[in-house]
Amino acid sequence: MGKTAYIFPGQGSQSVGMGKDLFDSFESAKTVFAEADEALGFEISDLCFGGTDEDLALTENTQPAILTASVAAYKSFRSEGGPKPDFVAGHSLGEYSALVAAGALTLTDAAKTVRNRGTYMQEAVPVGVGAMAAILGLDSETVTDICAKAAEGEVCSPANINSPKQTVIAGHVAAVERACELLKDAGARRTVMLNVSAPFHCALMMPAQERLAADLDLIEFGDLDFPLAENVSACLNTEAERVATALTEQVSSPVRWLEIVENLIKEGADRFVEIGPGKVLSGLVRQISRDVAYFNVTDQESLRNTLNNL
């Protein structure tokens, strides 16, 4: 019998109203939102359910909001009979949701940490200095080589290696723009400058990484109940001692999503369940392999459908 991986989304999957249906339907979801509200000292539930798009898009809000909605979806799914996963993974911010699911990190610690993480990442680079762009239709090796040529003493590197033909790059604005022109010449199908508030997962994030490291040093992590495929290494981990290092390095390192999914498939995963708002990761899994099944849990209907199919 095949194995199941639960995967948790990152920034960009947020939408106003996320988690509300689960909150209205399941006591376990209510408990999660109440705990997050208390941990943060403000009503993240109100922001998720009825805030403005602008407020929800602020990085220091987006990160705890997606975390809370994702953990609520996970707790609801498990409370209704969803099976224990064989593996977990999360895209950037989603790694915190995965760690909560695996029992290595409390929701309270996670919510406070990602709220700070969002603030640190936002403050690391002045607005207008950094940029990110999605590159479609080229392999990551080609993208990496061209970023190095385009840098010209500035920062420009892969930030998210999402699928065989989708890589997001990050760095200084001019360097990213130079890379986009070179990548088009090299045969990229499209290059799209992204509307983001900071250049995540590149060397420009080192100030945020250093600030976050101090926060993570204060947290007592537990061993994981099931293996997690790390962003920074794409390898499986179950040991508490490794978690803080992986989360620290993650801030300025690329998200190796393509390798994560490929490695989970090699380990026997043939079912991927995206837990939390949106279906971004399900789309990436489909680009990586057509030989696996993928489901999502974002509201009561999708929860029931996934339960029936697993």
pLDDT value at position 12? 85
Q: Say whether both 61 and 100 belong to one domain.
A: yes
Residue written as tokens 């339960």?
307
pLDDT at 33: 97
Whether residue 148 is found in the same domain as residue 278: no
Comparing CA positions, the residue from 270, 218, 292 lying closest to residue 248 is 218
Tell me: do 43 and 109 sit in the same domain. yes
DSSP notation for 235-276: -EE--HHHHHHHHHHHTTS-B-HHHHHHHHHHTTEEEEEEES
Contact 98, 90 (CB under 8 A): yes
Q: Residue 164 has what pLDDT?
A: 95
Q: Quick one: average pLDDT of 5-11? A: 96
Last residue of some domain: 196, 217, 234? 196
Q: Is 201 a catalytic residue?
A: yes
**Domain boundary residue among 143, 172, 196?**
196
Per-residue pLDDT at 1 exceeds 80: no
Is there a single domain that holds both residue 62 and residue 99? Answer: yes
- The gap from C-alpha 84 to its chain's centroid, in whole angstroms, comes to 21
Are 295 and 113 in contact by the 8 Å Cβ rule? The answer is no
* DSSP-derived secondary structure for 141-189: HHHHHHHHHHHTTS-EEEEEEEETTEEEEEEEHHHHHHHHHHHHHTT-S
Identify the CA nearest to 87 among candidates 206, 220, 234, 194: 234
Asked if residue 119 and residue 10 are part of one domain, the reply reads yes
For residue 77, is pLDDT > 90? yes
Contact 164, 288 (CB under 8 A): yes
User: Among positive and negative, which fits the CA dihedral 69, 75, 79, 80?
Assistant: positive
Tell me the two tokens of residue 24.
């209205």
CATH number assigned to the domain comprising residue 161: 3.30.70.250
The answer to whether residues 173 and 270 belong to one domain is: no
Exactly one of 13, 45, 76, 201 is catalytic; which is it? 201
Asked whether residue 96 falls in the same domain as residue 231, the answer is yes
Shared domain check, 225 and 97: yes
**Is there a contact between 87 and 25 (Cβ–Cβ < 8 Å)?**
no
d(CA 276, CA 73): 6
Confidence of residue 195 (pLDDT cuts 50, 70, 90): confident
pLDDT at 127 over 90: no
Same domain, 94 and 214: yes
Verify that 104 and 209 share a domain, yes or no. yes
Q: From the CA atom positions of the chain, what is the Rg in Å?
A: 18
What is the number of residues in the chain? 310
Q: What is the CATH number of the domain that holds 238?
A: 3.40.366.10
Domain boundary among 196, 212, 239: 196
Catalytically annotated residue among 28, 45, 70, 92: 92
244 and 190 housed in the same domain: no
Q: How confident is the model at residue 59 (pLDDT cuts 50, 70, 90)?
A: confident
CB atoms within 10 A of CB 205: 25
User: What CA–CA distance (Å, rounded) separates 64 from 151?
Assistant: 33
Residue 144: domain span: 130-196
More confident residue, 247 or 196: 247
- Count of structural domains within the chain: 2
Q: Are residues 179 and 274 in the same domain?
A: no
Q: Is 157 assigned a catalytic role?
A: no
